[in-house]
Amino acid sequence: MPPATKPDGRTVGSRWSHRLLSFLVVAGPGLIVMVADNDAGAISTYTQAGAQYGTKLLWVLLLLLPVTYFIQEMVARLGIATGRGHAAMIYRRFGKWWGRFSLFDLLLVNFLTLVTEFAAVALAADRLGLSPLIAVPLAAAALVGLVGTGSYRRWERMTLVLCGLDLAWFILAAMTTPDASTVIHDLVVPSVPAGGITPDLVFLVIAIVGTTIAPWQLFFQQSCVADKRLRFSDLKWARIDTFLGACMVVGLGLAMMLVGNALHQAGLDYTDPAQMAEALAPSIGHVGRTLILLMMVNCAILGATAVSLSSAWAWGEVACWSHSLQMRMSEAPGFYASYAACVALAAGLVLIPGAPLQEIIVSVQVLAGIMLPSAIIFLQLLLNDRELLGEAFVNKPWNNVVNWTVIAVLFALSLVLAAQVLAPELFPATTP
């Protein structure tokens, strides 16, 4: 019996088709949040890690796979159970004071992150022969156009296409012809790079953690799940969506680190991803160089839409504005205006000449890494809220063990950062 379309759904004739289609209609928030996480800052951090330490930090990424999944699964679960965004939940359950603090933290880091996205667009466009004065406003206009269609589904489909384009990083990594045995070894066997534990290494590791699991992701996925109106029965598909996304974010991070590793192997200096593309041109060709620059733009656009949306959703939830991609601009003016304002301000800031973009990019990741533990603590408290969630959606004991471990490790990393800033003499470079 061929599939028949009904006004309120689609009928299929086999259990497998049903499962596949059920997954496909639910998939999106998990994949988008993870792939968008590999934004301009992530490219910069991962390629810098590869350029400075070769493949020696690959194992950090593998460790972050379960961490990313567990955290984002909680967010998806909370979004499905309550139908509300993360900011709304903090505001309702912890009060206005904590709600406003959390919103301030989010908006601060998100705005700085957005600046880095446009910085990447400007850098890449410049190398591609397009003036940043044209490319940056064009990217900002495209970002507003992407969300302003009044259809969640249209936005999700377009964004998933952009996510698919990110797969080109695997081609780029293959073009650098890394040694497979070394890659596998460094992926599964943790080791400290030559030179020992230095302040720069600690700073970069915190940046990697901060870029792989960013605070905006918590807010974005929960709001996205709520906007898509996922149902209780969709939880298992949302979990698969999130797991596939976690694999993608780590896989793409690995590919980016391998591209940076090509610079390390050639003994070349690293300044930023655009300079890396130029430096690698002799080995990966003009096509490879152009592809890196185009991927910088793609990742920046993806990151910018997700980060801006997480801000606009959160603001809308706290201000009690209409805040849905299903609404037209005239129906949710505050939501779309805050999105457009974030985009326009960040784009404008990047066009100011002489901004130290690479420092901003790495520092934003560190800031995100520092803020993450506190964001997860609120998540942890909400997921243990039996009064609200009941037994069906509340954290299991093993969830709590994993989460408190993650929080402890993140706190330890941020304390190490504090110590190295206050007392750098505690971190002398050691010989391997």
Partner 1 sequence: MTSFDATLDRPLPCYRVIHPLDDTPELKCDPDRLGRMALRPVVKWSLLALRSYLIVMILLVGYRVFGSLGVL
Site map 351..380 versus partner 1, x via CB under 8 A: -----x--xx--x--xx--xx--x--x---
Instruction: Find where tokens 């901004």 sit.
Output: 355
Six-digit token string for 357 = 């973009």
Residue 139 binds partner 1 (CB under 8 A): no
Site map 17..56 versus partner 1, x via CB under 8 A: xx--xx--xx------------------------------
Residue 98 binds partner 1 (CB under 8 A): yes
CB of 328 to partner 1, least distance (A): 15
- C-alpha 326/C-alpha 340 separation (Å) is 17
Assess contact for 366 and 417: CB atoms under 8 A.
yes
Residue 413 binds partner 1 (CB under 8 A): no
Window contacting partner 1 (CB under 8 A); options: 134-142, 310-318, 330-338, 381-389: 381-389
Q: What is the DSSP letter of 232?
A: G
CA-based nearest residue to 284, from 252, 251, 254, 261: 261
Residues in 319-358 that interact with partner 1 by CB under 8 A: 326, 356
* Separation in Å, CA 203 to CA 176, 272, 362: 26, 17, 9
CA-based nearest residue to 139, from 251, 300, 363, 5: 300
Give the SS3 label for residue 6: strand
Q: Which of 133, 418, 426, 429 binds partner 1 (CB under 8 A)?
A: 418
Give the burial string for 115-151 (b: 16+ CB within 10 Å, else e).
bbbbbbbbbbbebbebebeebbeebbeebbebbeebe
Closer residue to partner 1, CB minimum distance, 91 or 169: 91
| Residues ≥6 apart with Cβ < 8 Å to 315 | 87, 103, 107, 321, 323, 334, 335, 338
Q: Which of 389, 402, 409, 427 binds partner 1 (CB under 8 A)?
A: 389
CB of 26 to partner 1, least distance (A): 7
Window contacting partner 1 (CB under 8 A); options: 7-15, 245-253, 273-281, 299-307: 7-15
Contact residues toward partner 1 (CB under 8 A) are 1, 6, 8-15, 17-18, 21-22, 25-26, 81-84, 88-89, 92-95, 98, 101, 105, 152-153, 228-232, 234, 326, 356, 359-360, 363, 366-367, 370-371, 374, 377, 381, 385, 387-390, 393, 414, 417-418, 421-422
